[in-house]
Amino acid sequence: MHHPSHPFGLVGRWSRNAYNYWKNVSSRQPLVRRVQSALFWLPTMTVFTQVGCTIRAVTGNSMQPTLNPDLSRPRDVAIFNRWSIVIKRRYERGDVVAFRSPQEYGKLLVKRLIALPGDKVVKTLPPYPDTEVIIPDGHGWLEGDAPFNSEDSNHFGPVPLALIDSKLSCVLWPLDRVRAIDFHTTGTQAERVVQRSRT
Amino acid sequence: MTVLRRLRPPIVGALYALNAFCAFHLFLNYVGSIQLVSGPSMLPTMAEEGEAVIENRLSFRLNPGGLNRGDLVTFESPLAPGRFVCKRLLGLPGDIICVDPTGSKAPSSEHVVVPKGHIWLMGDNAVLSRDSRDYGPVPLSLVRGTLWARVYPFNRVTVFRNPTTFLLH
């Protein structure tokens, strides 16, 4: 590199020198070198999945008919968009989101966000003890599209928005299911929410 | 062609720099980092401003069940996504907690059981702290790490030790 004045010059050169050093001391087998070069770029790829997007399979039937409409078929694989949550922090009613379970550490759930802070859910479903809830600051109400068949806010109440991990944008697999996810609340979900008045 | 040839080194250099930056970011994210703390809620353990601490994220990631009562825990605020706060851990799942012994935010006779997968957190300075007394038990999934030591100002360098003592009966 004969242009020391280019942007990020120093760090770029250090990093490149380290890489060249590694290449010199490492194996001459082409396959091993391939793997090593992939490993070298692993940090960039990991950060991309952390702040950009990632691909995951969705299990369970709580989001029927939006996801996994037929359980006898292969599970839906979807693109999970992290950018709009982790970077932009944009939460909208109707989004299908993945969030960390408030009850079980390490478990990720996929549900629809139907109410935001200040909104009132007027008809909760059993087993929730109260019929009406006003969503507190920084929280949201998450429900599965298949009512009564889902581990959602009707079990554990309003969920901190900080637990939301990503937003589903489209289904990738199986091929006949490829489609963008519909961000509209289904059936009675919207009717059961009184939106906060904008002042 | 000449334009391309002149542009290639800077672009390649930027990619390598980006990779190095990402590796550094991952280290801060998974292992630990130095953080500035501010706010009155943890007085007298930590001053209102101008202190830097080392946050340990590795131990919690490797062993989420390893938190103890009395640890200084950092977690994302349930009230404001994207805001990180530090409080002291008071109750683990299953513990019975007196919501507010001072009686200012809840009657001092009110007790709750910390549910499964949650912890009870409170600031050391109860008067000026918004904590589990306001927003209830905090899901373990919001926890990011624990505080290990104070590194700045230099005359107050401390390794935080767990001050909890237990009454045996």
The string of pLDDT tens digits covering residues A150-188 is 789 999 999 999 999 999 999 998 899 999 988 888 777
Percent of chain B, pLDDT > 90? 72
Cβ–Cβ below 8 Å for A105 and B141: yes
Name the active-site residue from A15, A88, A101, A111. Answer: A111
Instruction: State both tokens at B143.
Output: 């926890």
Q: Please give the DSSP secondary-structure letter assigned to residue A197.
A: P
Give the whole-angstrom CA distance, residue B133 versus residue B102. Answer: 11
Q: Which residues of B touch A19 (CB under 8 A)?
A: 16
Give the A:B interface size as CB pairs under 8 Å: 113
Q: Where are the domains of chain B?
A: 1-30, 31-168
Q: Label residue B9 by pLDDT band (50, 70, 90).
A: confident
Is residue A163 a contact partner of residue B141, using CB atoms and an 8 Å limit? yes
Contacts of A180 (CB under 8 A, 6+ apart): A169, A170
CATH class of B31-168: mainly beta
Mind listing the pLDDT tens digit for each residue in A38-75? 888 999 999 999 999 999 999 988 888 889 988 899 99
Considering CB atoms only, which of A8, A43, A162 is closest to B81? A162
Task: Note whether B141 contacts A: Cβ–Cβ < 8 A.
Answer: yes
Lowest mean pLDDT among A146-160, B63-77, B138-152: A146-160
Cβ atoms of A110 and A132 within 8 Å: the answer is: no
ipTM of the complex: 0.87
For residues B114 and B97, is the Cβ–Cβ distance under 8 A?
yes
The pLDDT score that the predictor gives to residue A64 is 87
pLDDT of res. A149: 75
Looking at per-residue pLDDT, the higher value among A24 and B90 belongs to B90
Q: CA-CA distances (angstroms) from residue B72 to A48, B55, B120, B131?
A: 31, 10, 12, 13
A8 vs B35, residue with greater confidence: B35
Q: Is the pLDDT of residue B50 over 70?
A: yes
What's the length of chain B? 169
Q: Is pLDDT at A5 greater than 60 in this prediction?
A: no
- Calculate ∠ Cα B101-B106-B109, nearest 5°: 55
> For residue A96, which of A114, A120, A116, A118 has the smallest C-alpha distance?
A114
Give the C-alpha separation, A116 to A195, whole Å.
Answer: 8
Q: Provide the pLDDT confidence category of residue A196 given band limits of 50, 70 and 90.
A: confident
Whether chain B has a CB inside 8 Å of the CB on A8: the answer is yes
pLDDT of residue A1: 47
Nearest to A152 by CA among A178, A118, A189: A189
Looking at residue B10, its pLDDT comes to 76
Q: Which of B60, B134, B141, B26 is nearest to A164 (CA)?
A: B141
A176 near B CB under 8 A = no
